[in-house]
A and B are shown apart, each in its own frame.
Chain A
């Protein structure tokens, strides 16, 4: 589990061990509480000592997360958490580094760092809390808000189309891409587990309810009366079907680039390890702003060397060439030029 470079502790930890002494200051009813609780319950499973776990966040409601975890943590600046975490992860392969971010933090101001962390495949677990709104600045539309969204900054409706975070991550060459929901603790933990086991960047979009500025944004796939007909649970090796009676199937019509939802039809069998990202991308396109057919679970889970591994290997190979003490090598380096001596 986790990375082979991260030491495992024999000490059995509990959820309580991961609670810090700080008072949690999210709004009552915020979806962040359930994500925090799920994380604290899941963490002991990792078997990693608290001191070897670091949470790095940016700015936004979700980014207060590190203060509440009794591990090492840094609440940094807006959008930059993936960059800061890259420096930490690359220079400290013995740490389990988690990035907590939001839709504004990761996809707007920090978009560049997110896509580059993913393409490099830095060994980071990136949790994107997507509530489709700017909460901490009190209710402006975000890069995942639906087109036409009326907010404080868009009284006539937003004119920009939203990102699909899963599609974006896949386009950025991510090796692990998943989606889950704040209110489904069991699913949340199963996705966290899969992300933690992945070597390299793991990108997890978490639909998270902001009950103050965008309440009910994900109600269609949360409400027990509607969710069965709109929520598609991806299970590795299982046919992709959904509906109260599993009456709907995700199919791949012959001659089509995309996937389709049909009543009946021959359901595709889900395989997140398919090398061609076109499959996961097609899955990601089933859901739009309307959430009408929304897959959750692991879309893509493939292996390629992590940035950390490649950089570490270069360092190890170079250090094997060391000849002498650091000071002796430095003397050699300084004199590695045309020199002359004055007597």
Chain B
């Protein structure tokens, strides 16, 4: 595959969206293109978008699955607002995505799928390829399916198998167009189809046919290059939030020197964490796929009681079911990490779409006064570090910690500078092995004066036999107590000890230090907020950005930070849950900005909104 003799243009950034039927392999295609792009050293951000149905009816709008990748020669923060290129594998994919395209965008369509029947399925009376309705775009009609089948016929590949390789043809074509290195894709195909050499050959041939088509056809006159981004030296990989979170939990186990125990029940979009952790038993990791969400967290509590790092992973509906057991862990004062990969609710909602609407549940969603620690990662790779931080707090302070990821960071990806395991924080803690009472007794609720944590004395430790439970306990002894003064003291102590958890101060990014408006975010909105702030600053509009990773307790300096600005804007993918908390706690009349579409904010949406606040107050 040699480089073609076509004109080569330099671009600084490109956004490509691959869209097709759920069964067309668009996620895989996008994933491979991303990997090739990563190899080249561009900065990347990706956004998969797919229906909850595994195979919705073929060719229909609800069945459209897409994968967007944004890559650039500088560092980027979002998967991009508007695609410069749309690859549409059928009329449904075209129709579902057309509204997102800016005029002049390239559209590559698989003409083989533009049949009367398929057009009718999505309500096209006339083919949009023929009625002039796409005049604002650069349309490249490509007979993707038939050319793939044709290219594979000489290998003796059956028509059906040939058709299924059309995504590799598309990948080959796009790889040619953007001058991507393809070795990793060929290696990937060899591994993926290791047991089917015929499929390895067919997919490789389809990829090559796509590449060669780009080189030879007159439909594509230009090839593009995007130079590597200037990034910090080191070794990188591309990683999704769910992968990073799972690896962060492995790292937490290594750096705490405790066996990791995961209790989980399958749920979208969290199941990938269970899949990933179940592969790493050599680290001493046990994964139990429980009979339900309640059993999953119950088993994790049991394992924590026995001295493991207990973790349960789920999404919002699962957290709702786990509420009573989280309350138990709060009363028992045992370490526990609860991962909530948020999705759009209420009820089943939209399982594959994103939202940040579980913040209230995480902070308040339990009976009684039941405080715990809550933290949220800001990007896919940050999930790794946030998982370690969650484990650190859980272990050091003997408390449940809710880690609020969401579908956007969980399935999105970005390059990640690999840390060295030795440099990760040491989060080890010691079990109690000796009686701590004056008379040689063991007092399970006698607290460490510094951390207010109670001793962690695990079964198997002679002389420290004790009983704990969900009934109110007497201070120090842990015996059952209905004493009014004791309950008052214990409730206040549980609240105080969470408030006293040491968390880093929130940092403010205010390049020119002359901003009057602060935009405060939390979790996965970091990327689009950051991109919007950059755009405003480039246009000479000052704005300050602060982003919360710790939501309970809040950073000690937050009140001071909020007070330093005339206006505070809080964009959230919910109806104002953080805004409510900030108003109540700091009496600051924040400006909420809310979106609950199941999709992340675009940078442009936030830029427009913030521009208005900056200019008009």
- Taking Cβ atoms with an 8 Å cutoff, the residues of A that contact B are 20, 22, 49-52, 54, 56, 59, 66-67, 69-77, 80, 83-92, 94-95, 112-113, 116, 311, 314-315, 317-319, 321-322, 326-331, 333-335, 337-343
Write the chain A residue with the least CB distance to B184. Answer: A338
Interface membership of chain B positions 276-319, coded 1 if the CB is closer than 8 angstroms to chain A and 0 otherwise: 00001111101010111011101111111111101000000000
A59 surroundings in chain B (CB, below 8 A): 470
B231 located at the interface, meaning its Cβ lies under 8 Å from any Cβ of chain A in the complex: yes
A343 surroundings in chain B (CB, below 8 A): 233
Can you list the 5 inter-chain pairs with the closest CB atoms, starting with the nearest? Answer: A75-B469, A87-B302, A87-B299, A83-B298, A318-B281
In Å, the complex CA distance between A82 and B282 comes to 27
A326 touches B254 (CB 8 A): yes
Q: In whole Å, how far is B23's beta carbon from the nearest beta carbon of chain A?
A: 25
Let me know if A77 and B306 touch, CB within 8 A.
Answer: no
Chain A positions within 8 Å of B232 at CB level: 342
* Contact between B303 and A112, CB atoms less than 8 A apart: no
Q: Give 1 or 0 for each of B257-277: 1 = CB within 8 Å of chain A CB.
A: 101010100000000000000
Q: In the complex, which residue of chain A has the Cβ closest to the Cβ of B312?
A: A87
The answer on a CB contact under 8 Å between A113 and B298 is yes
B39 touches A338 (CB 8 A): yes
Which of chain A's residues have a CB closer than 8 A to the CB of B254?
A: 326-327, 329-330
**Docked-complex contact A86 and B295, CB < 8 angstroms:** yes
Contact check, B235 vs A91: say whether CB atoms are below 8 A apart: no
Residue contact B298 to A341, C-beta cutoff 8 Å:
no
Number of interface residues of B (CB under 8 A): 74
Residues 222-246 of chain B, each 1 if its beta carbon lies under 8 Å from chain A, else 0: 0000001001111111110000000
Q: Is the CB of B288 within 8 A of A51?
A: no
Assess whether B282 is in contact with A319, with CB atoms less than 8 Å apart: yes
Contact B283 A72 (CB under 8 A): no
Decide: B418 and A91 in contact? CB cutoff 8 A: no
- Known A87-B261, A311-B286; judge A335-B237 contact (CB<8 A): yes
Q: Using Cβ atoms and an 8 Å threshold, which residues of chain A touch B233?
A: 342-343
The answer to whether A340 and B459 touch across the interface, beta carbons within 8 angstroms, is no
Residues of A within 8 A of B480 (CB): 22, 67
* A77/B325 in contact, CB under 8 A: yes
B330-389 residues at the A interface, CB under 8 angstroms = 332
The answer to whether B439 has its CB under 8 Å from any CB of chain A is: no
- The minimal Cβ–Cβ distance linking A129 to chain B, given in whole angstroms, is 17
Docked pose: A333 CA to B305 CA in angstroms: 28
Q: Decide: B299 and A84 in contact? CB cutoff 8 A.
A: yes
- Say whether A315 contacts B460, CB under 8 Å: no
B residues adjacent to A (C-beta < 8 A): 35, 38-41, 184, 228, 231-239, 247, 250-251, 254, 257, 259, 261, 263, 280-284, 286, 288, 290-292, 294-296, 298-308, 310, 324-325, 327-328, 332, 418-422, 459-471, 479-480
Give 23 A-B contacts (CB < 8 Å), ordered by A residue. Answer: A50-B462, A51-B463, A59-B470, A66-B467, A67-B480, A74-B332, A74-B468, A75-B467, A77-B328, A88-B305, A89-B302, A91-B307, A318-B281, A327-B421, A333-B247, A333-B280, A334-B247, A338-B35, A340-B41, A340-B236, A340-B237, A341-B234, A342-B231
Q: Tell me which residues across on chain A come within 8 A of B231, comparing CB atoms.
A: 342
Q: How far is the CA of A95 from the CA of B263 in the complex (A)?
A: 19
- Nearest B residue to A322, CB-CB: B282
- Tell me which residues across on chain A come within 8 A of B234, comparing CB atoms: 341-342
B324 and A72 contact, CB distance less than 8 A = no
Q: Tell me, rounded to whole Å, the shortest Cβ–Cβ distance linking A193 to chain B.
A: 22
B421 touches A75 (CB 8 A): no
Please, which residues of chain A bring their CB within 8 A of the CB of B236?
339-342
Query: Could you tell me if B38 and A338 are in contact, using CB atoms closer than 8 angstroms?
Result: yes
Q: Which of A52, A86, A87, A340 has the most CB of B within 10 A?
A: A87
- Candidates B251, B307, B325; contact of A80 at CB < 8 Å: B325
Task: Give every chain B residue within 8 A of A74 (Cβ-Cβ).
Answer: 305, 332, 467-469
Check B41–A319 contact: CB distance below 8 A: no
Residues of chain B within 8 A of A92, CB atoms compared: 306-307, 459-460
Cβ contact of A335, chosen from B235, B251, B284, B303, cutoff 8 A: B235
Residue numbers in A under 8 Å from B300 (CB-CB): 87
User: Other than the known A84-B299, A321-B282, what 11 A-B pairs have Cβ atoms closer than 8 Å?
Assistant: A67-B480, A76-B298, A76-B470, A80-B298, A83-B290, A85-B302, A88-B306, A95-B306, A113-B298, A317-B281, A338-B184
Choose among B261, B263, B328 the residue that contacts A76 (Cβ–Cβ < 8 A).
Answer: B328
CB atoms of A71 and B288 under 8 A apart:
no
The residue in chain B whose Cβ has the minimal distance to the Cβ of A7 is B460
Q: Which residues of A contact B296 (CB under 8 A)?
A: 83
| Complex Cα spacing A321 to B281, Å | 10
Residue of A70, A319, A342 contacting most chain B CB atoms (<10 Å): A342
> A112, B467: Cβ atoms under 8 Å?
no
B281 touches A315 (CB 8 A): yes
A330 and B295 contact, Cβ closer than 8 Å, known pairs A70-B465, A338-B39, A340-B39? no
Cα separation A70 to B459 with both chains bound (whole Å): 12
Cα separation A333 to B424 with both chains bound (whole Å): 14
Q: CA A87 – CA B479 in complex, angstroms?
A: 24
Chain A residue with Cβ nearest B295: A83
Instruction: Given the known inter-chain contacts A88-B305, A315-B281, A340-B235, please indicate yes or no for A75 contacting B471, CB distance below 8 A.
Output: yes
Which residue from A49, A88, A330, A342 sits with its C-beta under 8 Å from B250?
Answer: A330
Q: Cα distance A49–B460 when bound, in Å? A: 8
Can you name the residue of chain A whose Cβ is closest to the Cβ of B464?
A: A51
Q: Is the CB of B462 within 8 A of A116?
A: no
Contacts of A88 in B (CB 8 A): 302-303, 305-306, 459
Rounded to whole Å, the gap between the CB of A73 and the closest CB of chain B is 4
